[in-house]
């Protein structure tokens, strides 16, 4: 079953059918060929339930927040001021991509929204300054994935919801690994560009005066982070509600910069509805595919596989990590989490691993899934912000960052305290 699904997926995608349609078609195919039961009769119910979701409304909120920041010029000012700090490094502006993505991750709970925001500001710079388009786009796509590791995070909310784990604790646990990974992204960029200087753009230097004066442009982002995450920790808002607070705060900041106008709001709303529809079409299709896979026995196959291997705790953990890497190529991330968490987390917890720690480990693997082809939403989003060049550029460009993610997985397994030491005091 897995093989025919993978082959069908690749073939239909190659026909350049919309990804959401492909997922629906595969689900219908599984129903027809692998299930003795008329799963299609549940289609309507699944599609409705997957879109009527209080958790998912955080996606348009975070996209709207990003749209407002872009249209109020805040994203661009943030980008420029980080450029002043990082462009002396080998790789120049690529570091600003990663830095900006890291900062926006602290205000956005969605990796796709983060990547979309940064891509809008950053991608036009690549050609102008003569950067290698692959590395440049790859840094935006990979940097954007930090959106779900650095709090707030929709995916951690979903994990907490499904595993009955405290969301504020998960958020705290994601912070250090998220920052470490940002540093890792920059390190690998510097390493590559030191070896192959032509991949990076021109080396530019800024005076300390320019750097210091640019710092004030980081205030809005700091303020947003404080309000969004602060409202959760102060007990004013639930993590989902905090996304709405973020939108309101972004509007206040935009008003402060005198960039709120009727047309600005209209354009921001249009952009939000467009991106939301694009993301949700994939997610709804993925839910239906997931439902048919589960009904056709994927869950049982997974459970049998994991339970019958007879490996020890770490052996099982390694198999699970490997599974997520492979499934992550093909399955959309939210539905991947929903399909596997009920199977995997009880096993992990039974082996004596910490649920909060595993949540963070899983998010790193999910981040990887966001940038591995053929189904990788962040790849699509970054490609969508480009004016020329093919999707292949982005796919090649993310490879070094995937390596950093793999290293992060190893680090988390070897040193669980990377995730846990902040939460232990709680």
Partner 1 sequence: MTDIKMANRSGPARLAARLGRINRIIAILAGIALLATVALILLEIVLRQTAIGSIGGSDEISGYVMAGVATWGFAYALTERAHVRIDILQSRLPLPGKGLFDLLALASVFAIALTVSIHAWDVLGKTLARDSHANTPLATPLWIPQSIWFGGWVWLAIVAVLLLACITVLIAEREWESVRAIAGGGTETGEL
Partner 2 sequence: QNLDDTSLSVVGSWSSLPLDKDFERPFWTKTLPADSQGKVSVQMTTFDQMGVKGGDVFRMLSDGVFDVGMTVGDYVVGDAPELEGLDVPLVASDADTEHKVIDAARPMVADIMKKRFGAKLLAIVPYPPQVVFCNADVKSLRDLKGKKVRASGRMAAILLEKLGAEGITMSFSEVPGALERGVIDCAVTGAGSGYSAGWWESSTHLLTLPLGGWDPVITAMNQDKWNGLSPAMQSFLETEIKTKFEDKVWAAAGDALSGDVACLTGRGECKAGKPASMTLVEPTKQDEALAKKVLTEDVLPDWAKRAGGDWAKRWNDSVGKVVGVSVAAP
- Shortest distance in whole angstroms from residue 103 CB to Na ion: 10
Give how many residues touch partner 1 by CB under 8 A.
64
147 binds, among partner 1, Na ion, partner 2, none (CB under 5 to 8 A by kind): Na ion
Binding residue for partner 2, selected from 179, 223, 294, 402, defined by CB under 8 A: 294
Neighbours of 205 (CB within 10 A): 8
Establish if 41 lies at the interface with partner 2 (CB under 8 A).
Answer: yes
Q: Which stretch binds partner 2 (CB under 8 A): 192-200, 312-320, 334-342, 396-404?
A: 334-342
Establish if 174 lies at the interface with Na ion (CB under 5 A).
Answer: no
| Residue pair 87/125 in contact by the 8 Å Cβ criterion | no
Establish if 48 lies at the interface with partner 1 (CB under 8 A).
Answer: yes
Nearest Cα to 28, choosing from 46, 51, 3?
A: 46
Establish if 411 lies at the interface with partner 2 (CB under 8 A).
Answer: no
Non-local (6+) Cβ contacts of 337 within 8 A are: 155, 158, 159, 162, 362, 366
Establish if 22 lies at the interface with partner 2 (CB under 8 A).
Answer: no
Nearest Cα to 152, choosing from 187, 80, 215, 104?
A: 104
| Torsion angles phi and psi, residue 205, rounded to 5 | -120, 150
Establish if 68 lies at the interface with partner 2 (CB under 8 A).
Answer: no
Establish if 116 lies at the interface with partner 1 (CB under 8 A).
Answer: no
Within 146-238, residue ranges assigned H as helices are 154-163, 167-195, 208-214, 219-233
- Shortest distance in whole angstroms from residue 14 CB to partner 1: 5
Q: Determine the Cα–Cα distance for residues 130 and 141; give it in Å rounded to an integer.
A: 19
Establish if 221 lies at the interface with partner 1 (CB under 8 A).
Answer: no
Establish if 50 lies at the interface with partner 2 (CB under 8 A).
Answer: yes
Establish if 244 lies at the interface with partner 1 (CB under 8 A).
Answer: yes
Establish if 383 lies at the interface with Na ion (CB under 5 A).
Answer: no
Q: In which element (H, E) is residue 148 found?
A: none
Q: Which residue has the tokens 């036009």?
A: 124
Q: Determine the Cα–Cα distance for residues 393 and 326; give it in Å rounded to an integer.
A: 21
Cα–chain center distance at 186: 18
Establish if 235 lies at the interface with partner 2 (CB under 8 A).
Answer: yes
- Shortest distance in whole angstroms from residue 59 CB to partner 2: 16
Write out the residues near partner 2 by the rule CB under 8 A: 36-39, 41-42, 45-46, 49-50, 54-55, 157, 160-169, 232-236, 238-240, 287, 290-291, 294-295, 297, 299-300, 335, 338-339, 342-343, 345-346
């Amino acid at each position: 079953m897995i093989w025919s699904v993978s082959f069908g997926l690749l073939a239909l995608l190659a026909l350049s059918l919309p990804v959401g349609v492909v997922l629906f078609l595969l689900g219908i195919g599984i129903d027809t060929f692998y299930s003795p039961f008329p799963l299609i009769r549940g289609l309507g119910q699944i599609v409705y339930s997957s879109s009527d979701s209080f958790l998912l409304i955080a996606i348009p909120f975070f996209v709207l927040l990003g749209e407002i920041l872009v249209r109020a010029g805040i994203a661009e000012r943030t980008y420029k001021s980080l450029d002043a700090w990082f462009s002396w490094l080998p790789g120049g502006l690529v570091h600003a991509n990663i830095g900006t993505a890291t900062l926006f991750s602290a205000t956005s709970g969605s990796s796709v929204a983060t990547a979309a925001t940064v891509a809008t500001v950053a991608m036009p710079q690549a050609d102008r300054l003569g950067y290698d388009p692959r590395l440049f786009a790859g840094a935006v796509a990979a940097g954007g994935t930090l959106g779900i590791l650095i709090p707030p995070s929709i995916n951690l909310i979903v994990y907490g919801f499904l595993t009955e784990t405290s969301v504020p604790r998960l958020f705290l646990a994601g912070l250090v690994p998220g920052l470490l990974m940002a540093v890792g992204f920059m390190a690998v960029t510097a390493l590559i560009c030191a070896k192959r200087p032509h991949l990076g753009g021109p080396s530019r230097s800024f005076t300390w005066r320019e750097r210091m004066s640019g710092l004030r442009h980081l205030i809005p982002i700091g303020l947003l982070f404080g309000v969004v995450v602060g409202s959760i920790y102060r007990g004013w808002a639930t993590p989902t509600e905090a996304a709405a607070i973020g939108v309101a705060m972004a509007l206040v900041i935009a008003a402060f910069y005198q960039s709120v106008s009727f047309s600005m709001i209209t354009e921001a709303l249009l952009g939000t509805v467009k991106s939301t529809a694009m993301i949700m079409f994939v997610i709804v299709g993925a839910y239906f595919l997931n439902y048919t896979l589960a009904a056709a026995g994927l869950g049982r196959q997974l459970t049998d596989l994991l339970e019958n291997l007879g490996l020890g705790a770490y052996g099982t953990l390694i198999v699970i990590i490997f599974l997520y890497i492979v499934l992550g190529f093909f399955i959309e991330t939210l539905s991947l989490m929903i399909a596997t968490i009920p199977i995997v987390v009880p096993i992990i917890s039974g082996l004596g691993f910490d649920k909060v720690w595993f949540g963070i480990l899983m998010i790193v693997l999910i981040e990887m899934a966001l940038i591995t082809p053929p189904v990788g939403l962040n790849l699509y989003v970054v490609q969508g912000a480009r004016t020329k060049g093919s999707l292949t550029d982005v796919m090649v460009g993310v490879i070094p960052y995937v390596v950093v993610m793999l290293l992060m997985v190893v680090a988390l397994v070897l040193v669980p305290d990377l995730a846990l030491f902040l939460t232990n005091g709680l």
